Structure 1
Amino acid sequence: MRLIVLIIWISICPLLVNAGTTVKNVILYIGDGMGITQITSSRIYLMGADGRFEMEKMPITGLITTHSVDRLITDSAAGATALASGYKTKNGMIGMNRDSVAVVTILEAARDKGLSIGLISTSSITHATPASFAAHVSSRRSQSEVASQLIDAQISLLLGGGKSFFLPQELSGSKRSDQIDLRQLAVEKGYSIVQNKEELQKIGKGPVLGIFALEGLQGDSSEPSLKDMTEAALKVLSQNKKGFFLMVEGSQIDWAGHDNSFPDLWREMKAFDDAVAVGLQYSAENEKTLVIVTADHETGGLLIEDGHNDGKDLQIAWHLKGHTGTMVPLFVSGPKAELFSGIKDNTEIPVILSELLGIRNFPRFQSSHPVK
């Protein structure tokens, strides 16, 4: 009898362990264009060689390969589509595979499971990375169509820039070719509209549409920071007892790389890490929250060439103004974080997340969605 009880106990132990470490919430941070040297050089400049960003303190680390379906050098559209859907695609394509078939994203799958979902970006919310999690277009340039799809996607929270793609053509600053006012459509669907930091801080519940600039955020004092937007998002999304999935993009790390601007880089890296700190604090207080920090690609071919440990005479060199094909970092904290260790392809990330969230049949095509 004792032997039978022992056998039963041994057989259910793994189930008990898994039950106690279920992932309820996911916060996925994407530093657009953020390679290892972007992190290292910014950290040395800000706090010396022995300092650490909050993301660097996360217990599990790895590397991610970033190539698109047919090119060694990905763009943000193909890179984010892989991270969102588990499918490689061609550069420039959003939420579709190489044959222009719409694919289900991990954000959409989480929504269909009953989780609240959110997207945050310091670029236009219609830009390649956020768009790849909830839109399906053959060209990343179709930002007006992306905006329309985002409003229809039942997203609990959308925060970033890109107002020009929500305004009707007749209004100043609009980049639409029609008279559709997506802000009004959003209100009709139940969205609260916020346009500045003060309004965002007063928001109580979702769904929320916050568009704070015509295109990318400008760093104006009236705009919320990435940290501010992350704090507001967690306040809104955490009201769902079933959980949430939040993607937070530090978009302008990439822009600093394209401009070969180190001052812009370290400022964007600091702002991004400040937002990461918010998620890590939330995870520490909510044990079923998984936090992931990674990138879609590296931008600029940045190298550290010389300098002293205090960072005051740091010498760096940019080698191009485009993207590179190097692997990018992966930092993970929370339940089952160890599943992400080692070298992964970007397509593996959403597949692991789907398993942890209990989402079946992923990745998969989304045949019901029209191809644009």
Structure 2
Amino acid sequence: MLTFSNKLAQLKYFSILFLILLFNSCSSKKVTNSTQIKTSENNQPLNIIFMVGDGMGLSQVSSSYFSKKTEPNFSRFKSIGLIKTSSGSHLITDSAAGATAFSAGEKSYNGAIGVNMDTVPIKNIVEILSDKDYATGLIATSSITHATPGSFFAHVKSRGLAEEIATALPTSEVDFFAGGGKKYFFNRKDNKSLYEDFIQNNFTIDTLNLKKNKTLLKNEKYGFLLADDAMPWAGDRNDFLANATELALSYLNKNEAKGDNGFFLMIEGSQIDWGGHSNNSDYIISEVLDFDKVIGNVLDFAEADGNTLVIVTADHETGGYTLAADPDKKNTIKGSFSTKGHSATLIPVFAYGKGEEHFTGIYENTAIFEKILELVENKK
């Protein structure tokens, strides 16, 4: 029979043992967490898909949760941050300065296309990654010469110089592009046609249609110019954005002509911005849902590939868009606006895949460029 003193001694023994086990358990968890963090930091992306919902602030994103019958693809992201979007000249940026911050990593003046505050060209991410044998692509629902896509291949002092921006595309490092803008290449005010410039630089140009299952040769470059200026709005585009993205991913992911270093693809949902400028909530929602569909397709690709970083963000918010109760309809949300221009609100950044943890927090829009290049430079 155990005496009280023996029981006390035994209790002390088990208490001490428990504390030792607890300490070891905590120590193990600390080591494990440290190892996980280190491993995560060494997970560097091979492919980078950068998606810009032009004019897409948090309310625009939120609209998809009230208008889509299924859960929006935004919910699939776990790493989310915020960017500050002021330009080098204004507290409220325009799309050109916003895109230049993304493409070249510098704050510039409103209207700048790939140039700094002194109008000096800045090397952009397409040029930098092409030097590293990355395949590159651009897709937009606007003209391909518009502010956002233009900032990824041209260096022009003003976004309004669409024909000058266009002249940079045939000799650029871009391997694949799709969007509108035929008149800036073939029906120009200076009466020039850039068709021969494209052919001389190994481009095959299609102005008729884009089929997602089209066979593209890996040692050639491709351009799809499918509208005179901008592409039609989402309801009339026949899944252009989704089909162009699928074709681009198939082509860029196997582009042997550029080696095996991976690819960079910029996809812009351009017309979310235009819905904001026109204070048209239905226009915004249709464009956001179209963009969200493509986000889903891109995330499916990244999940299956296992070696891709996806970043979804916007250059700025447009319209001062707000989701409020509709006074005329019980339990209904109604979109309202505070401006027909841009606003200064912080913009969400959604990241998925290798290196996604680097995109959380609050930071300047130029940091996205810096973070991408840091991941590429440190790639194992």
Q: TM-score, normalised by structure 1?
A: 0.85
- 1:43 is displaced (CA, Å) by 2.3
Q: State yes or no: 1:46 paired with 2:58.
A: no
Q: How does 1:97-246 map to 2 (within 5 A)?
A: 97-167=116-186, 174=187, 176-199=188-211, 201-205=213-217, 206-219=220-233, 225-240=240-255, 241-246=260-265
**What CA distance in whole angstroms lies between the structure 2 residues aligned with 1:274 and 1:223?**
13
- Summarize the Cα distance change of 1:34–1:221 in structure 2 as closer, same or farther, 3 Å threshold: closer
Aligned 8 A contact 1:110 1:359 in 2: no
- Summarize the Cα distance change of 1:120–1:198 in structure 2 as closer, same or farther, 3 Å threshold: closer
- Summarize the Cα distance change of 1:257–1:202 in structure 2 as closer, same or farther, 3 Å threshold: same
SS at the partner of 1:37?
Answer: helix
- Summarize the Cα distance change of 1:166–1:312 in structure 2 as closer, same or farther, 3 Å threshold: farther
Percent identity, please.
Answer: 38
What amino acid sits opposite 2:229 in the alignment?
A: E
Higher mean C-alpha deviation, range 98-107 or range 212-221: 212-221
Aligned 8 A contact 1:197 1:223 in 2: no
Gap regions ≥5 residues in structure 1: 1-12, 168-173, 361-372
Number of equivalences: 338
Q: How does 1:228-307 map to 2 (within 5 A)?
A: 228-240=243-255, 241-306=260-325
What per-residue deviation string (whole Å, max 9, x for no partner) do you get for residues 277-330 of structure 1? 11111110111100000000000001112169x997212211111000111110
- 1:221 is displaced (CA, Å) by 5.9
- Summarize the Cα distance change of 1:15–1:332 in structure 2 as closer, same or farther, 3 Å threshold: closer
Aligned 8 A contact 2:210 2:224 in 1: no
Higher mean C-alpha deviation, range 121-130 or range 238-247: 238-247
- Which residue is equivalent to 2:360? 341
What amino acid sits opposite 2:179 in the alignment?
A: G
What amino acid sits opposite 1:178 in the alignment?
A: D
- Summarize the Cα distance change of 1:194–1:229 in structure 2 as closer, same or farther, 3 Å threshold: same
**What CA distance in whole angstroms lies between the structure 2 residues aligned with 1:226 and 1:19?**
32
- Summarize the Cα distance change of 1:295–1:198 in structure 2 as closer, same or farther, 3 Å threshold: closer
Q: State yes or no: 1:76 paired with 2:99.
A: no
Higher mean C-alpha deviation, range 137-146 or range 178-187: 178-187
**What CA distance in whole angstroms lies between the structure 2 residues aligned with 1:183 and 1:203?**
21
Q: How does 1:3-42 map to 2 (within 5 A)?
A: 17=39, 21-42=43-64
**What CA distance in whole angstroms lies between the structure 2 residues aligned with 1:213 and 1:312?**
40
Aligned 8 A contact 2:141 2:179 in 1: yes
Aligned 8 A contact 2:143 2:229 in 1: yes
**What CA distance in whole angstroms lies between the structure 1 residues aligned with 2:175 and 2:346?**
32
- Summarize the Cα distance change of 1:359–1:251 in structure 2 as closer, same or farther, 3 Å threshold: farther
Larger radius of gyration: 2
CA RMSD of aligned residues (A): 2.4
Higher mean C-alpha deviation, range 143-152 or range 218-227: 218-227
